[in-house]
Amino acid sequence: MQSKSWLKAGLFAALATAAFAATPARAQGSLVMYCGVQEEWCRAMSTAFEKETGIKVAMTRKSAGEIYAQLKAESSNPRGDIWWGGTGDPHLQAAEEGLTLEYESPKNKELHGWALDQWKAAKQRSVGIYAGALGFGFNTEQIKAKGIPEPKCWADLLNPKLKDDVQVADPNSSGTAYNLLATVVQLMGEEKGFDYLKQLHKNVSQYTKSGAAPAKAASLGETAVGIVFIHDAVVFAVQGDPIKPVAPCEGTGYEIGSMSIVKGARNLDNAKKFYDWALTPAAQALAAPAKSYQVPSNKAAPVPAQSPKMDQMKLINYDFVKYGSSAERTRLLAKWDKEVKALP
């Protein structure tokens, strides 16, 4: 994955913003956007698209599992047009269940192979917009106060001294937490992976709804460890908070953050316009100024200097087709509810 300077990224974003600002808004109808990343980035995207096209965007931010559940609940009367962002697994499940629409963007040829792999796995119903690796962030002051070594590995999170001091989201609502569930199953095997999650449960103080929330809690010292996408911990580290992002020593999983058009979208043309625009380098450059440090999917989009270096990590060969399948995701979530969350 390429790496360019932060300065260049900022300049690019500034130019992109200036270009949007210079374009007069025209009344062009509306777009209902379900947004799966952090609120600030969601707002930057919807505002810039509105300015560029005059299309009024009604945006709602939710976690990936929640957006999937909403599409399913609304399938007989779809309200949304575009689902932008969030981990790829629930996008794949929605694709398999026919909740989203096939689309081939003219921008596809500008994308990294991993973004197109998602498009192929989804039978053209979803495409990769960014990538990010899973890990955790720990509060350096809290770890020091506990007198334990800095955690470097998944195994270190089972230290009894971390009892009630680890936060992670609930995989039913959060794409991040489902990514963790699928990662440990792939990394350790299903039996050992579930054993690990049961042990971890003893240290988990609460399962949050949103995947990135534990990073903020760790940055504030409300928890010693937050299991999150590494870029979500970087957000707080770069602003000087006492949090250290970690790529676990045993290896880790990663996400292909994705985008899909809702089947039955009332504003289909506008959804396609958004889709094409969201794949441009200019739109993808809006991430870093909105404090989102994922690796963008357009090869020409600047990679923020803060982006975790995925090519220097031990990444598992994440099986997106299997773990994004309706049967596997449903089965693993039900098993986690029964065997992990139900534990005292």
Specify the amino acid at residue 135: G
Strand residue runs (E) in the chain: 30-35, 56-61, 82-84, 100-101, 127-139, 166-169, 204-208, 225-229, 243-246, 254-262, 295-296
The reply on whether position 137 binds ligand PLP by CB under 6 A is no
CB 239 → ligand PLP: shortest distance, Å? 15
Q: Is 290 helix (H, G, I), strand (E, B) or coil?
A: helix
Stretch that binds ligand PLP, among 23-31, 121-129, 204-212, 308-316 (CB under 6 A): 204-212
Q: Which of residues 233-292 bind ligand PLP (CB under 6 A)?
A: 255, 257, 292
Residue 215: closest CA among 284, 282, 292:
292
Tell me how many residues contact ligand PLP (CB under 6 A).
Answer: 22
CA dihedral 49, 286, 178, 184 (to 10 degrees): 160
CB 64 → ligand PLP: shortest distance, Å? 4
CB 26 → ligand PLP: shortest distance, Å? 32
With CB under 6 A as the contact rule, the residue among 118, 142, 210, 260 that binds ligand PLP is: 210
With CB under 6 A as the contact rule, the residue among 57, 59, 71, 169 that binds ligand PLP is: 169
Could you tell me which residues come within 8 angstroms of residue 201 by beta carbon, excluding any fewer than 6 positions away?
Answer: 340, 341, 343
Sign of CA dihedral 332, 337, 338, 344: positive
The reply on whether position 63 binds ligand PLP by CB under 6 A is yes
With CB under 6 A as the contact rule, the residue among 156, 232, 241, 328 that binds ligand PLP is: 232
Residues 100-129 as x/- pattern, contact with ligand PLP by CB under 6 A? ------------------------------
Between the two ends of the chain, the Cα-to-Cα distance in Å is: 43
Measured from the CB atom, the residue of 86 and 248 that comes closer to ligand PLP is 86
The reply on whether position 38 binds ligand PLP by CB under 6 A is yes
Q: Is 244 helix (H, G, I), strand (E, B) or coil?
A: strand
Measured from the CB atom, the residue of 203 and 258 that comes closer to ligand PLP is 258
Helix (H) or strand (E) holding 335: helix 326-336
Report d(CA 319, CA 337) in Å as an integer: 22
CB 21 → ligand PLP: shortest distance, Å? 25
Measured from the CB atom, the residue of 55 and 184 that comes closer to ligand PLP is 184
Residues that bind ligand PLP (CB under 6 A): 36-38, 63-64, 85-87, 132, 169, 174-176, 210-212, 229, 232, 255, 257, 292, 294
